[in-house]
Amino acid sequence: MTNPTPPTVTTGPLPGASKLHIPGRLHPGIAVPMRQIALDPAAGEPPVRLYDTSGPYTDPAAAIDIARGLPRQREAWLAACADCEGYEGRAPRPEDNGHTESAQSAPPFGSRHRPLRARPGRSVTQLAYARAGIITPEMEFVAIRENLGRAQARDGAPVGATLPETITPEFVRDEIARGRAVIPANINHPELEPMIIGRNFLTKINANIGNSAVTSSMAEEVDKMVWAIRWGADTVMDLSTGRDIHTIRDWILRNAPVPIGTVPLYQALEKVGGVAEDLTWEVFRDTLIEQAEQGVDYFTIHAGLRLHHIPLTVGRVTGIVSRGGSIMAKWCLAHHTESFLYEHFAEICTICRAYDVTISLGDGLRPGSIADANDAAQFAELETLGELTRVAWAQDVQVIIEGPGHVPMHKIKENVDRQLALCGEAPFYTLGPIVTDIAPGYDHITSAIGAAMIGWFGTAMLCYVTPKEHLGLPDRTDVKTGVITYKIAAHAADLAKGHPAARLRDDALSRARFDFRWEDQFNLGLDPDTARALHDETLPKAAHKLAHFCSMCGPKFCSMKISHDIRAEAQKEGMAAMAERFRQQGALYLPVEG
């Protein structure tokens, strides 16, 4: 155990990509990472800058050592923070890892750091600073990151969102102060590259990983985390429910440049041997502190499920499908008393406040089928989540609200409308929603449809669903498929919301497509490797990557090729002028045009 072999992860830049870092102006110490795609000189276009979630792993200049963890860049920022203090912290206990010290258990992560917490009476949350009018390094970091220093004409139809042409640090501060956005950034997670979650920013996606009693290991989970952010996961939730929960989380956090979320109830349940009835506030409280000291950035807490909500689920087709929700429902019924999470919610906030752990209010009563969508149980809980949001805000604790689930298209918008109204515009964080139940094995797709729509309507973060949903635990391949699918949904939402920078990437790729710059088309895509591989299947030769056609039509039929001839002719004939005349006529042709 003293000298374990660390897990191996995928490193190195994506095809055609390089990494650059932009310093802050208010906080010159920060370096905001971006990805840059160089284009074929023939394009005569500047490189395309992209939002980059992958951290140092895609930076050739970075020396990656999983056993030592990532550089602790935020330590320098926090050193300046007079509101924090270091302390001894809670010593790890056998039960933290499921009572196991056996040989199969994962090796402990090498170095343990003294945890930080707020000094007595102080608050260290981004919300507290925002309310005090302070722009933190985290705020400037995300402002630069969101913006990519670009602006372009707005073309979108925001539903509830109001995006400025450029994201300023002050706009970030204001959105956080209003509770409309959060920066999940535990002061004990200094490896973090801050990101923001709010409907007036880029739509974010979360990838769930984690082992279970049935399968997978520490090394696999660390690899999945790095793999998920390589393809664009903005946050990662560790939903481990098996053994070695504490140790696996250590390895993940020390190597994670993205916010890490957990459901502390899962570990608390392990500590009481998996018997829901045996859960206590004390065990749960101890688990919150354990995880807060490790640096978990956000906790999913199912405090909105109350005793009197449970009977509302009796008539459902799929009952309670949230793990946390069903555990708490069982506890409430067994004790015939109110949920201890609801009863102790103010104390939960006090703990989160000391470390700036963002609370993600879990939807324990989310529908698990089309039949149960938007029912009384779901909306009764949502009402309580609104009540709890105000409790958290009273303590300067950042809050996001979790949402469904399984919802047919015509019932999606009502979810956003109610959430915004009931929860004071706190960011909405939904799982899909899945828009039909009939495609097990393809629920990344059934849910991407709902996710894109709900993102357009104002949902701030989309929790991915993989092809394994309802069938098993996602492996590495499923994680990538889920992430890419959700990047599609999130970007489609950003286009529809009219994010000022979103369309630049579509346009650059479409120009590459029209110009037959195959390499540029691959590299500007979400998954260059797959795009290239599919092209290779029919036209494998390198020369084909320069060909002015593809196997769909072959040389004679290529419509884009013909379009080029037409354009050439058009120029010859000076049709640009004609075009204008016809465009005007075109308008006349269209009486219904609004």
| Rounded-to-integer distance, Cα 50 and Cα 14, Å | 12
Q: What six digits make up the tokens of 342?
A: 């609801």
Q: Which is nearer to a copy of itself, 126 or 521 (CB)?
A: 521
Phi, psi of 400 (to 5 degrees): -125, 160
Q: Which is nearer to a copy of itself, 137 or 242 (CB)?
A: 242
Report how far apart, in Å, the C-alpha atoms of 305 and of each of 153, 301, 367, 399 are: 44, 10, 13, 17
Q: What is the DSSP letter of 13?
A: P
Is 550 annotated for ligand binding?
yes
| Rounded-to-integer distance, Cα 377 and Cα 320, Å | 10
Is 365 annotated for ligand binding?
yes
Shortest spacing between CB 342 and a copy of itself, in angstroms = 15
Task: Report the Cα 128 to chain-centroid distance in Å.
Answer: 23
Shortest spacing between CB 81 and a copy of itself, in angstroms = 38
Shortest spacing between CB 158 and a copy of itself, in angstroms = 9
> For residue 9, what are the contacts with CB-CB under 8 A and spacing of at least 6?
57, 64, 66, 222, 223, 226, 227, 255
Phi, psi of 58 (to 5 degrees): -100, 10
Is 470 annotated for ligand binding?
yes
Is 266 annotated for ligand binding?
yes
Q: Which is nearer to a copy of itself, 280 or 585 (CB)?
A: 585
Q: Is the peptide bond before 164 cis (omega within 30 degrees of 0)?
A: no
Is 523 annotated for ligand binding?
no
The label of the residue with tokens 């939002």 reads 51
The DSSP H or E segment spanning 399 is strand 399-403
Q: Supply the Cα-derived Rg of the chain in whole angstroms.
A: 25
Shortest spacing between CB 129 and a copy of itself, in angstroms = 32
Is 186 annotated for ligand binding?
no
What string of DSSP letters covers 161-173?
----SS--HHHHH
In contact, 296 and 357? CB cutoff 8 Å: yes
Q: Which is nearer to a copy of itself, 132 or 534 (CB)?
A: 534
Q: Which residues partner with 209 through β-bridges?
A: 238
Q: Which is nearer to a copy of itself, 181 or 320 (CB)?
A: 320
Q: What six digits make up the tokens of 96?
A: 């933290």
Is 323 annotated for ligand binding?
yes
Shortest spacing between CB 364 and a copy of itself, in angstroms = 9
Is 298 annotated for ligand binding?
no
Is 364 annotated for ligand binding?
yes
Closest to 264 measured CA to CA, from 344, 353, 341 = 341
| Rounded-to-integer distance, Cα 151 and Cα 163, Å | 12
The label of the residue with tokens 């109110």 reads 338
Taking each helix axis from N to C end, the angle separating 264-271 and 281-294, rounded to the nearest 10 degrees, works out to 120
Shortest spacing between CB 9 and a copy of itself, in angstroms = 22
Q: Which is nearer to a copy of itself, 103 or 590 (CB)?
A: 590
Shortest spacing between CB 193 and a copy of itself, in angstroms = 22
Q: Which is nearer to a copy of itself, 168 or 530 (CB)?
A: 530
Shortest spacing between CB 50 and a copy of itself, in angstroms = 10
Shortest spacing between CB 478 and a copy of itself, in angstroms = 8
Is 429 annotated for ligand binding?
yes
Phi, psi of 76 (to 5 degrees): -65, -40
Is 363 annotated for ligand binding?
yes
Taking each helix axis from N to C end, the angle separating 264-271 and 323-335, rounded to the nearest 10 degrees, works out to 50
Q: Which is nearer to a copy of itself, 192 or 496 (CB)?
A: 496
Q: What are the percentages of helix, strand and coil residues in the chain, rounded to 5?
A: 45, 10, 45
Is 463 annotated for ligand binding?
no
Q: Which is nearer to a copy of itself, 102 or 559 (CB)?
A: 559
Q: Which residues partner with 298 through β-bridges?
A: 261, 358
Cite the annotated binding site for Zn(2+) by residue number: 406, 470
Q: Would you list which residues are annotated within the binding site for [4Fe-4S] cluster?
A: 550, 553, 558
Binding residues for substrate: 208, 237, 266, 302, 322-324, 363-366, 402, 429
